[in-house]
Chain A
Amino acid sequence: MNEWETVIGLEIHAQLATASKIFSAASTQYGAEPNRHACVVDLGMPGVLPVLNRAAVNMAIRFGVAIGAEIGHESVFARKNYFYPDLPKGYQISQFEFPIVGRGQISISLDEQNRKQIGITRAHLEEDAGKSIHDQFPAQSGIDLNRAGTPLLEIVSEPDMRSAKEAVAYARKIHSLVRYLEICDGNMQEGSFRCDANVSVRRKGDEKLGTRAELKNINSFRFIERAINYEVERQIDLIEDGGSVVQETRLYDSERDETRSMRSKEEANDYRYFPDPDLLPVVVTAKDIERIRAALPELPEQKQQRYISEYGLSNDNAELLVANRDTALYFEAACNNSAAPVAQLANWILGDLAGALNKSGLEISDSPVSAEMLALLVERIADNTISGKIAKQVFEAMWQGEGDPDAIIEARGLKQITDSGAIELLIDEVIAANPEQVEQFRAGKDKVLGFFVGQIMKQSQGKANPGQVNAILREKLKH
């Protein structure tokens, strides 16, 4: 394996979050009954003409500005000609020679120390195709054209990735960015964010790229990794057995965890691109670009820096918080108007909350514990109402929907014991019951202290303030 190098480039199709389609005024809403959102333009009826949606253009520019790319001053729509039943006009309106977004780049982090720049070749606007449904009729396919004409931004990377992990990191980064920019909802299940991977292998040190296969139909980050790893192994085995890789399109089958050749798409890939005579060049002025740049939302890297400088968060925590826009929004909502220490809030969000969400398969936007409630909980730790340990119990109850932290603390009687008299009593009892351990401590065995703290906390059902317990205990044991 070691003498092989993997080369990966990704083509990401992000559906732009417009209300209407790129060239028609039909709705882009997902999930309607078949063909209810397909108007005359989407159906490719004779005589209809496309008119370009301003929002789609602006979203593409927003993306380009965010990755520091050149924006095409005059971009041109071209027709990509091929016959397929989910392509009503027999051509897809796309961009070819003159895309709206030119060369840019994005940085991904591989681990704590290593970052890598991934080149973005281009991003262009195009229309989505409809859907073919194969399981509804015995010998026929059904065609639903609701999706036809939904605006897509196709983001094409350079073949800069060298492992499936890098490819996933890049895909996640783009996913996060398009959501920050509010140009795509990122829903992979519904196909709003789709990935094709161009994968090839070569012997280490080779200059020339190997023959690539294009993997299609990868609809989750997990599958990106699996599909690529499967394909890399397949290609290496093939070459090592004396065969050679053919350039082709391969479909990833997540159920069998394998890729297989899509012969039907193979033959006629002479797309006969030419400028669409129904559309004119799209002119973007420097002023347009400036206006869009000025209106950009705070991007993940800027947020990360701000979290470090403004809140004093560690770089790692800041990066984890901004990786997902919803997490960052949650964090910011929690910080807002709260006296809770920010570092602790971050730990709770990235620790207990993330764990609970992960366990129940929920997104942070669907969290049963709101940002405000979590902030309140952390405040109660900070003001010594409860200990960190008790807080975990309270959190659990909040997760179960038992109400706000104060009500739970009250109802369950979880309030921390801070009355030093009460704590002294507890300590006295424990000391009296364990003379042997007292002797050991006095003989210099410091470790026994932990035993006493444990006993005292147990007696107090965890409510005794641990700081106070420690201080008073040490004092008493000395004498």
Chain B
Amino acid sequence: MARSITEIRDGLTQGKYSSVEITQDYLDRIEQHNPALNCFISVTPEIALQQAGEADRAIADGNIQALTGVPLAHKDLFCTDGVRTSCGSRILDNFVAPYDATVIENFKKAGAVMLGKTNMDEFAMGSSNENSYYGNVANPWDLNRVPGGSSGGSAAVIAAGLAPGSTGTDTGGSIRQPAALCGVTGIKPTYGRVSRYGMVAFASSLDQAGPFAQSAEDCALLLQTMAGFDRRDSTSAEESVPDFSADLNHPIEGLKIGLPKEYFGDGLDSQLAATIEAAITELRKLGAEFCDISLPNANLSIPVYYVIAMAECSSNLSRFDGVRFGHRCDNPRDLEDLYKRSRGEGFGDEVKRRIMIGTYALSAGYYDAYYLKAQQLRRMIKDDYQKAFTEVDLILGPTTPEVAFAIGAKTDDPVSMYLQDIYTISLNLAGLPGISLPVGFVDSMPVGMQLIGNYFDEARLLNTAHCYQQVSDWHLQRPQAFA
């Protein structure tokens, strides 16, 4: 069965199979494997087959768009008109979105088929997918381990072959970290590259949507459809979008890649470091040049990130109040009871923790010490990157400090969970694009390597990742159980 989007597209246009056939194949695989993996919160077979039927008619009419007939899965925080959009939360368990997110609209226009909505950490808050109201997702490489988060479902469906492409969102690493832990390719574009309209907000100044797929080549196709200016999002960038696929095979000879010493320090697993080193050697063979750089404020990323993300989320999540949509508690005594119990029952532990920290950080007397300070450090972190990019074209490092950990290993210690994001979150603070791609295995679990680009330089990230994937096959490997 075809696994790559490029292959599926070709098969569909050449009439090797119909969209209905390939969609049905994926629906069958979902039915077979989802119970063990729990990748999906909602599977939407009727919609999928109807869209596939339309795609087949379009193909017959010669009306072929970028992704006509290609089945995809979407993270359950993109609003989908008429389909439940739960965000992994009890508070939105009954929420049928009344409109489409811009990303969803773009995929519809491009002719793509929606298989369903994928599991995730509640409101995208988590690094293991253990914070979902709908239960945790298993890592297809080892069902006892986490797939990463928060877009755990979207990464796992690619690894398990339950969809050839999927969407995720990345606020502090929520695309790159699960991509690394599941052995797939995932890209977080520059902040503002993809519209946030219709994405349920976690932290508005950090959130950015991006795709997962088996390869950089497929990610290029998906990102092409997702990216672009949207007047409904004030933070959307009025930047032209290059043809990502056209740039893929550009030779990387002479490419200058910086290795931040802060990314190869104490916290990094030594076997994992060796795997990254091997990938560096491969890239060197392709002509890339490496140099050491420093991002002196990188170590501040985690505290800065958590202050900003929690402050923004504490406000973003105030709209879930049991009045106009979502969960409402039974028999509220009065208004305050309605708010407190609806929210208390509707939100899980981690969400409550973050709302409370954010509330605290913004409250009278603490704003300057926390929020303002974090914003100042945010600029210092960004400045570090900007300085680095005057010397190098790309920055390279591990995506995560270790491979996927066991389910339950870190649930009692929120801080140790936060440290999983050490290499990914500074990009979100700076708004830079990053891609994670598989570069090997440690303990039979995939290892991800992260490439960081300058603003709006996604094409170079995809190009470099693609060149690497032309000379390696880590991205083509599949867990035995889902071969």
Q: For the complex, is B318 an interface residue (Cβ under 8 Å from A)?
A: yes
Are the CB atoms of A274 and B87 closer together than 8 Å? no
Whether the pair B234, A90 counts as a contact (CB closer than 8 A) is no
> Does A444 reach chain B (CB closer than 8 Å)?
no
Interface string of A280-311 (1 = CB under 8 A from B): 10000000000000000000000000000000
CB distance from B318 to the nearest CB of A (A): 2
Check A49 against B363 for contact (C-beta < 8 Å). Answer: no
Q: Is the CB of A274 within 8 A of B371?
A: yes
B169-205 near A? 1/0 per residue, CB < 8 Å: 0000000000000000000000000001111110111
The residue of chain A having its C-beta at the shortest distance from the C-beta of B201 within the complex is: A47
Per-position 1/0 for A59-98, Cβ under 8 A of B: 0000000000000000000010101010011110000000
B98 pairs with A90, CB closer than 8 A: no
Q: Could you list 14 A-B pairs, sorted by A, with CB under 8 Å?
A: A46-B85, A46-B97, A46-B201, A49-B196, A50-B234, A51-B231, A88-B324, A90-B315, A90-B321, A143-B323, A270-B363, A272-B314, A277-B235, A277-B312
Knowing A45-B99, A278-B204, A280-B234, the reply to whether A85 touches B323 (Cβ < 8 A) is yes
B1 on interface, CB distance cutoff 8 Å = no
Which of B197, B317, B319, B363 neighbours the largest number of chain A CB atoms within 10 Å of its CB?
B319
Interfacial chain B residues near A388, Cβ < 8 Å: none
Interface residues of A in 150-192 (CB under 8 A from B): none
CB distance from B147 to the nearest CB of A (A): 24
Interface assignment of A43: CB less than 8 Å from any CB of chain B: yes
Return the contact of A90 from the options B196, B198, B319, B325 (Cβ within 8 A). B319
Q: Is B362 an interface residue (CB 8 A)?
A: yes
Instruction: Return the chain B residue nearest A25 by Cβ.
Output: B232
Least CB distance from B354 to A in Å reads 15
User: Which residue in chain B gives the minimum CB-CB distance to A278?
Assistant: B204
B335: CB under 8 A from chain A? yes
Given the complex, which residues of A lie within 8 Å of B392, measured CB to CB?
A: none
Does chain B have a CB within 8 A of A354? Answer: no
Q: B318 contacts which of A50, A52, A91, A279 (Cβ < 8 Å)?
A: A91
Known A-B contacts A81-B318, A83-B339, A91-B318; A48 and B85 likewise in contact (beta carbons under 8 Å): no
The 8 A CB mask of A123-147 against B (1 = contact, 0 = none) is 0000000000000000000010000
Q: At the interface, yes or no: A262 with Cβ under 8 Å from chain B?
A: no
What is the bound-complex CA distance between A81 and B312, given in angstroms? 11
Residues from chain B with Cβ under 8 Å of A44 in the complex:
319, 324
CB pair B315–A81 under 8 Å, yes or no, is yes
Q: Does A320 contact B (CB under 8 A)?
A: no
Report the bound CA distance from A361 to B231 in whole Å.
47
A44-B324, A47-B79, A47-B196 known; 16 other A-B pairs, CB under 8 Å? A44-B319, A46-B87, A46-B95, A47-B197, A47-B199, A52-B234, A83-B321, A85-B321, A85-B335, A89-B319, A91-B315, A274-B362, A277-B204, A277-B235, A277-B312, A278-B201
Residue B405 lies at the interface, judged by CB distance under 8 Å to chain A? no
Q: Is the CB of A272 within 8 A of B98?
A: no
Complex contacts, A280 vs chain B, CB 8 Å: 234-235
CB <8 Å contact, B197 and A48: yes
A-B contact number at CB 8 A: 101
- 3 cross-chain pairs, A with B, having the tightest CB-CB distances, nearest first: A90-B318, A277-B204, A272-B362
State in angstroms the CA–CA spacing of A295 and B124 once bound together: 49
Among A40, A45, A85, A280, which residue has the most Cβ atoms of chain B within 10 A? A45
Are the C-beta atoms of B199 and A278 separated by less than 8 Å?
no
> Could you tell me the distance between the alpha carbons of A85 and B321 in the complex, rounded to whole angstroms?
9
Q: Is B245 an interface residue (CB 8 A)?
A: no
For the complex, give the distance between the alpha carbons of A406 and B405 in Å. Answer: 98
The answer to whether B101 touches A270, judged by C-beta atoms less than 8 angstroms apart, is no
* Chain A residues, Cβ within 8 Å of B10: none
Residue B461, interface by CB 8 Å: no
Which of A47, A51, A81, A272 lies in contact with B234, CB distance below 8 A? A51
Give the chain A neighbours of B200 by CB distance below 8 A. Answer: 46-47
Which residues of A come within 8 Å of B, CB atoms?
40, 43-52, 79, 81, 83, 85, 88-91, 143, 270, 272-274, 277-280
A47 to B317, CA, bound (A): 11
CA gap between A391 and B319 in the complex, in Å: 64
- Contacts A88-B319, A274-B367; is A47 near B324 (CB within 8 Å)? no
Instruction: Assess the A51–B364 pair: CB atoms within 8 A.
Output: no
User: Measured between alpha carbons, how far is A320 from B196 in the docked complex, in Å?
Assistant: 54
Within 8 A of A (CB), among B93-114: 95, 97-99, 101
Which of A45, A88, A272, A279 has its CB near the most chain B CB atoms (within 10 A)? Answer: A272
A270 touches B364 (CB 8 A): yes
Question: Is B359 on the interface with A (CB-CB < 8 A)?
Answer: yes
The main secondary structure of chain A at its interface with chain B is loop
Give min CB distance, A11 to chain B, whole Å: 20
Per-residue contact bits, chain B 222-249, to A (CB 8 Å; 1 contact, 0 not): 0000000001111100000000000000
The answer to whether B319 and A46 have CB atoms under 8 Å apart is yes
Which residues from chain A contact B359 at a C-beta distance below 8 Å? Answer: 272
Nearest CB of A to B145, in Å: 31
- The smallest beta-carbon distance between B307 and chain A, in angstroms, is 11
Please report the C-alpha to C-alpha distance between residue A40 and residue B85 in the assembled complex, in whole angstroms. Answer: 15
Tell whether B137 is near chain A: CB-to-CB under 8 Å.
no
Tell me which residues across on chain A come within 8 A of B315, comparing CB atoms: 79, 81, 90-91, 272, 274
Tell yes or no: B49 within 8 A of A by CB: no
A143-B324 Cα distance, complex, nearest whole Å: 10
Interface string of B52-81 (1 = CB under 8 A from A): 000000000000000000000000011100
Q: What A residues does B324 contact at CB under 8 A?
A: 43-45, 88
Give min CB distance, A92 to chain B, whole Å: 11
> Contacts A81-B315, A90-B321, A277-B203 known; A40 to B98 CB distance under 8 Å?
yes
Q: How far is the CB of B433 from chain A (nearest CB, A)?
A: 19
Query: In the complex, how many angstroms separate the beta carbon of A38 from the nearest chain B beta carbon?
Result: 9
What residues of A have a CB within 8 angstroms of the CB of B231 in the complex?
Answer: 51
Chain A residues contacting B325 (CB-CB under 8 Å) are 45-46
Residues on B with C-beta less than 8 A from A52 are: 234
Residue from B92, B198, B234 having most chain A Cβ neighbours under 10 A: B234
Q: With the chains together, A280 CA to B233 CA distance in Å?
A: 11
List chain A residues, Cβ under 8 A from B101.
47
Does B158 lie at the interface of the complex (its beta carbon under 8 Å from any beta carbon of A)? no
Cα A79 to Cα B312 with chains together (Å): 10
Query: Does B430 make an interface contact (CB < 8 A)?
Result: no
Residues of A within 8 A of B199 (CB): 47
Q: Which residue of A lies closest to B207 (CB)?
A: A277
Write out, one digit per residue, whether chain B residues 350-372 have a CB within 8 A of any chain A CB (1) or not (0).
00000000010011100100010
Closest residue on chain A to residue B324 by CB atoms: A43
Q: B311 on the interface (CB 8 Å rule)?
A: yes
A332 smallest CB distance to B (angstroms):
41
Question: Is there contact, CB below 8 Å, between B312 and A45?
Answer: no
How many angstroms between the C-alpha atoms of A78 and B213 in the bound complex? 38
* Residue numbers in B under 8 Å from A273 (CB-CB): 362, 367
Residues of chain B contacted by A85 (CB below 8 angstroms): 321, 323, 335
Q: How far, in Å, is A274 (CB) from chain B's closest CB?
A: 5
Greatest chain B CB density within 10 A among A45, A49, A279 is at: A49
Give the most central of B98, B315, B364: most A CB within 10 Å: B315
Smallest CB separation, A212 vs chain B (Å): 19
Report B267-318 residues with CB < 8 Å from chain A CB: 311-312, 314-315, 317-318
Q: How far is the CB of A36 from chain B (nearest CB, A)?
A: 15
CB nearest to B325 among chain A residues = A45
Cβ–Cβ < 8 Å partners of B323 in chain A: 85, 88, 143
B175 CB → nearest A CB, Å: 18
Name the residue on A nearest B366 (C-beta). A272
A47 touches B198 (CB 8 A): yes
Enumerate B319-345 residues with CB–CB distance to A below 8 Å: 319-321, 323-325, 335, 339
Which residues from A are CB-within-8-Å of B201? 46-47, 278
